[in-house]
Amino acid sequence: IQERTLIAVKPDGVQRRLVGDIISRFEKRGFKLVGLKLLQAPEGILAAHYHDLKRKPFYPALIRYMSSGPVIAMVWEGYNVVRSSRAMVGETNSAEAKPGTIRGDYSVHISRNVIHASDSVEVAQKEISLWFHSDELVDWELCD
Ligand code: CMP
């Protein structure tokens, strides 16, 4: 099986109608979509997802932001997809994100940074099993 990563369009990205553009960038890059859903992120998932940030001063605001509307959770598969998608997403701090990256094109502030991408293969595996049941992921191949 090829490498997989969890990509989530955050509530600001959904509200600003950026979902289509973001999906399009991953498709055109050559990655394969194997899971996709729109959901109001449950508190339990957010608490586990942001467990490492629990003591940060911005944590309560982060949870409010991530709960402010639906998110699009996706699993993308492909060669080096974890590292490549981090490059496509750009720096966490939007002010540092280069033009041409998703954050560099669509976000001005770290607290409204439009998209999440797993930061390592190990973390990706954990995040995928947190956000998706295994029967929600589809193995598929291009037809000849
Ligand atoms: P991400 O890297 O996807 O996951 C952690 C998130 O915490 C990050 O995006 C930001 O949305 C948020 N975050 C990190 N640092 C700050 C900060 N200093 N102020 C507000 N939000 C932050």
Is 92 labelled as part of a ligand binding site?
A: yes
Is 10 labelled as part of a ligand binding site?
A: yes
| pLDDT tens over the chain, length 144 residues | 689 999 999 999 999 999 999 999 999 999 999 999 999 999 999 999 999 999 999 999 999 999 999 999 999 999 999 999 999 999 999 999 999 999 999 999 999 999 999 999 999 999 999 999 999 999 999 777
Tell me whether residue 133 is one of the annotated catalytic residues.
Answer: no
ipTM over 0.85: yes
User: What value, to the nearest 5°, has the Cα angle with vertex 29 and ends 62 and 15?
Assistant: 35
- At residue 142, the pLDDT reads 79
- Cα–Cα nearest to 116, from 22, 20, 33, 10: 10
- At residue 144, the pLDDT reads 72
Ligand 1 lining (C-beta closer than 6 Å): 53, 58, 62, 92, 110-111, 113, 116
Ramachandran angles phi, psi of 59, nearest 5°: -55, -50
Q: % helix / strand / coil in the chain, to the nearest 5?
A: 45, 20, 35
Q: What is the pTM of this model?
A: 0.96
